[in-house]
Structure 1
Amino acid sequence: MDPESVRESERVPHGGESDSDVLDFSANTNPFAPDGVEAVYADALEDSRRYPDDEHPEFRAAAADFAGCAPERVVPTAGGLAAIRLIVAVTLEPGDEALVPYPSFGEYAREIQLQGATPRFVAHDEVLSTGVDVLEDCALAVVCTPNNPTGEASDLDTLEAFADRCADAGTTLLVDEAFLGFTDLPSAASLEREHVVVARSLTKLFGLPGLRAGFAVASGDSLAALETARRAWSLGTPAARVGAYCLCQKEFVIETRERVASERDRMARALEGRFDVHPSDAPYLLCDVGDRDVSNVVGTARERGVAIRDATTFRGLEGHVRVAVKNRAANDQLLAALEVLDKADREDDRER
């Protein structure tokens, strides 16, 4: 990292609710975890009295099968964000530029700035059409699929064409697939190219965000750089064991995808009566609240025991909130909490 840039940087706001009495729709995590996780964790805890096997062969094999690549291309990390930091760190130098989508995950710009580089922001729905003339000035380009917070996933053919232009420009392409596991879409790991690096998160799909397990997928010199730079013992024994176990729970993944797709459609139909809802392939919905005050929307939901994300913290967004897609009972509680807004609107209309 660039020491001067570190001193000038700030933390990035995120979702996540620490109050266990509040239903958390501000973080996009699965409300369920696979059966058997507790036993795997307990066994791993006993083995944690010694250092972990830093090669993590079982974890690499499970991650490779899940992403559709060879095990030797997998680089274990302590969560998807750790993979992003590692990729950015081995790619950028002070003074470099990096292409970054907006609105999107705020940590991209922060990690780029921590290296002393400069983010060049491009609208999230225009990134994949960026030409070589722009890419030639960028050492790194970032794509988030499905994009957070808007929710749309990138078409792999379009992504491949963009990867070709990145190769022509000498630009490394970072594809963040933190939420791709909630879909049945193929991973960019299938694009086995030296300049394409993928970051994956396990803990959102498997409902264990505090576990911190993820991985990167790379090839050639990029893979060698990541393997050399990654911290020793960066993935603890419990995270590696539980992560490998979860990645093999294919029935759980199928059931999760079906539930999320069904509930997301149901929630979108219900919310469209109140907000302008962005189409989504992800386990969350971005909602334009119109002329309502976002803080009032967030506060009203919280008064009813539900935390939702103030999406105005994302670059380029005003008047938006983001809500996660959970299980049916929880989703009904969210919808009931937001019904208060309709009643308030009707009362305001009567007063006028």
Structure 2
Amino acid sequence: MSEQRSVPLRKHLMNLKPCRHGGLIQETSETYRIPESEILDFSANFNPLGNPFEHPESGLNFDEVLKNGFKKLTEYPDNRYLEFREAAARFVGLGVAPQNIIPGNGSTEIIRLVVECVVEKGDLVLLPQPTFGEYEMQCRIMGAELQYPNQDEVETLPDELLEKAKILFICNPNNPTGKLRTRNEIKALAERCAKHKTLLFVDEAFIELSDPSQSIADLPISSNYVFVMRSLTKDFAIPGIRIGFGIASPEVAEILDTARLSWNLGTLANAMGTALLNIEGGVENPYLKKARLMIREEGEKLKAKLDRIRGFKAGEVNVNFIFVNISKFMLDSTELSARLAAHGVLVRDCSSFHGLGKDYIRVAVRTAEENDKLIAAIGDVITQWGKEQAKSELQHVIEKASEEGIGGRKTCEYYPCHFEGQNCTFCFCPFYPCENERTGGKWIESSRGGKVWSCVDCHLVHKKETAQKILDCLMQEGDTDELVKVAWKKVMEPIL
């Protein structure tokens, strides 16, 4: 075995694991050989209306923005980003001024910048869980000591703990749970943090798609111990262009702005960001108001449909995604996500979030038509899983019958599900779904949307003589699927 080569990197980085995110469209396309254009992504959470350039009410012209950006492609960006800062301050309102704004190449760069400038190796950082994984990632890079209080414990964190902590991260609304804290709750927390000289980092990446009135973006104006982060990715559905900004007190903002990478916003990103932030009316622009209304209405409809799926428990709808407990579902989050991906539908497997295990998924709120496709895809996965279980059960029945013959299951909690004295050799019908209404079966409306084949009124396979004949066919040598076809032709068709 060759000796491992040494690397000139900090030792604590040797076991660093990448932070997982949603939006893996290209990877899914490569894995399942599905064209990217045919993949429906519920794993990443953007404005369900799409980008504002597709909506006249936004007042934005894409060609004009690009034209302005292209004019300066041969120049370095103005590293002061004056127009961007002014636009960001106007967009936020609440008394925020340009000198409070720190431009960033997406929210992740802002997180890295703050952590680099605040945290030293060994410093304690509080990361209420579950929450966005990039906070932990950037803190680990700096060698911080991490503690993970529960989200429900945030308001009652002990003073001694806050006294020791360098930063407390709060995502509001929280990703992935969707929990929205009120302005008063965050304000009270900010006062406690300031008292203990702990920086309160509040990530408001989703606030414009939730309830902007709960923003605390004005608090940093008068406090060196509150920092607010905003992202344009979610509001305007532009993940391909990395644009975000931070809001801090003038003293803190000046230092962070000096420490950030020079020219961190390229010419086109700067032009795009400035145009978007200059949108008429700011957070009250018709485009954003329409998006919030759509999220509330379609989110509640989607939640109701998710709740009708056996084993699903959807969380509250405060923002453009829904946190779903599937701990009582037939599949765990990893298997469900993989099966849906094979159908061209992506949901966020939340197993990468601290402490959640494989009991949760997160789904974006999209258009009514797209949301229905998600529900239909889950239905298809359930049907496919049911067929696999039926096939597995059938194999078990055949093996058991070869030793014991046919029989009943009178100890079953559902007995009798068809009639007293029924034969239960085939609890799972080997022909399901036969789609032949002469059997007594029929298509019915599913509680999760769409139709499902119901066998409630079909008694045929539960008659002893019929069950025996079917079993005789299935116990022959050969492929099980082919034997099922033979059994249908030899046993069922003559009866029908």
Q: What TM-score, normalized by structure 2, do the two folds share?
A: 0.67
C-alpha distance in structure 2 between counterparts of 1:8 and 1:341, whole Å: 36
Instruction: Give the equivalent residue in structure 2 for 1:59.
Output: 84
C-alpha distance in structure 1 between counterparts of 2:166 and 2:156, whole Å: 17
Instruction: Give the equivalent residue in structure 2 for 1:27.
Output: 44
> Is 2:186 the partner of 1:165?
no
Counterpart of 1:263 (choices 298, 310, 333) is 298
> Is 2:230 the partner of 1:200?
yes
CA contact (8 A) 1:300 1:340 kept: no
Instruction: Give the equivalent residue in structure 2 for 1:7.
Output: 14
Deviations 1:223-276 (CA, angstroms, capped at 9, x unpaired)? 222112111101112111111212233221111111112111110011011211
- Displacement after TM superposition at 1:196 (Å): 0.2
Instruction: Give the equivalent residue in structure 1 for 2:105.
Output: 78
Deviations 1:288-310 (CA, angstroms, capped at 9, x unpaired)? 11242223321332233211111
Q: Which amino acid aligns with 2:428?
A: E
Q: Which amino acid aligns with 2:228?
A: V
- Displacement after TM superposition at 1:211 (Å): 0.2
Instruction: Give the equivalent residue in structure 1 for 2:247.
Output: 217
C-alpha distance in structure 1 between counterparts of 2:41 and 2:67, whole Å: 27
> Is 2:290 the partner of 1:283?
no
CA contact (8 A) 1:25 1:306 kept: yes
Q: How many residues align?
A: 351
Deviations 1:315-341 (CA, angstroms, capped at 9, x unpaired)? 111311111111222212112111225
Q: Where in structure 2 are the equivalents of 1:182-331 lying within 5 Å? A: 182-186=209-213, 187-191=215-219, 192=221, 193-249=223-279, 250-274=285-309, 275-289=312-326, 290-293=328-331, 294-318=333-357, 319-331=359-371
Where 2:164 maps in the other structure, the secondary structure is: coil
CA contact (8 A) 2:99 2:253 kept: no
Deviations 1:98-130 (CA, angstroms, capped at 9, x unpaired)? 010111111111111111111111112222331
Q: Could you tell me the percent identity over the aligned residues?
A: 34
Q: Which amino acid aligns with 1:23?
A: L
- Displacement after TM superposition at 1:220 (Å): 4.1
Q: Which amino acid aligns with 2:300?
A: D
C-alpha distance in structure 2 between counterparts of 1:244 and 1:138, whole Å: 35
Where 1:101 maps in the other structure, the secondary structure is: coil
C-alpha distance in structure 2 between counterparts of 1:28 and 1:46, whole Å: 32
CA contact (8 A) 2:87 2:274 kept: yes
Where 2:263 maps in the other structure, the secondary structure is: coil
Deviations 1:176-234 (CA, angstroms, capped at 9, x unpaired)? 11111202323221113111001111012111101000000000432222112111101
Q: Where in structure 2 are the equivalents of 1:39-58 lying within 5 Å? A: 39-58=64-83
Q: Which amino acid aligns with 1:189?
A: A
Q: Which amino acid aligns with 1:298?
A: S
- Displacement after TM superposition at 1:3 (Å): 2.9
- Displacement after TM superposition at 1:55 (Å): 1.4
CA contact (8 A) 2:232 2:273 kept: yes
CA contact (8 A) 2:177 2:323 kept: yes
- Displacement after TM superposition at 1:85 (Å): 1.0
- Displacement after TM superposition at 1:80 (Å): 1.0
Going from structure 1 to structure 2, the CA distance change for 1:342 and 1:10 (only over 3 Å counts) comes to closer
Q: What TM-score, normalized by structure 1, do the two folds share?
A: 0.94
Deviates more, 1:21-30 or 1:266-275: 21-30
Q: Which amino acid aligns with 2:246?
A: A
- Unmatched runs of 5 consecutive residues or more in structure 1: none
Q: Over alpha carbons, which structure has the higher Rg?
A: 2
- Displacement after TM superposition at 1:147 (Å): 0.5
> Is 2:379 the partner of 1:339?
yes
C-alpha distance in structure 1 between counterparts of 2:248 and 2:238, whole Å: 25
C-alpha distance in structure 1 between counterparts of 2:316 and 2:354, whole Å: 19
- Displacement after TM superposition at 1:96 (Å): 0.2
C-alpha distance in structure 1 between counterparts of 2:372 and 2:124, whole Å: 44
> Is 2:108 the partner of 1:87?
no
C-alpha distance in structure 2 between counterparts of 1:328 and 1:149, whole Å: 21
Deviates more, 1:318-327 or 1:155-164: 318-327
- Displacement after TM superposition at 1:157 (Å): 0.5
- Unmatched runs of 5 consecutive residues or more in structure 2: 1-8, 30-35, 54-60, 280-284, 390-413, 415-426, 430-496
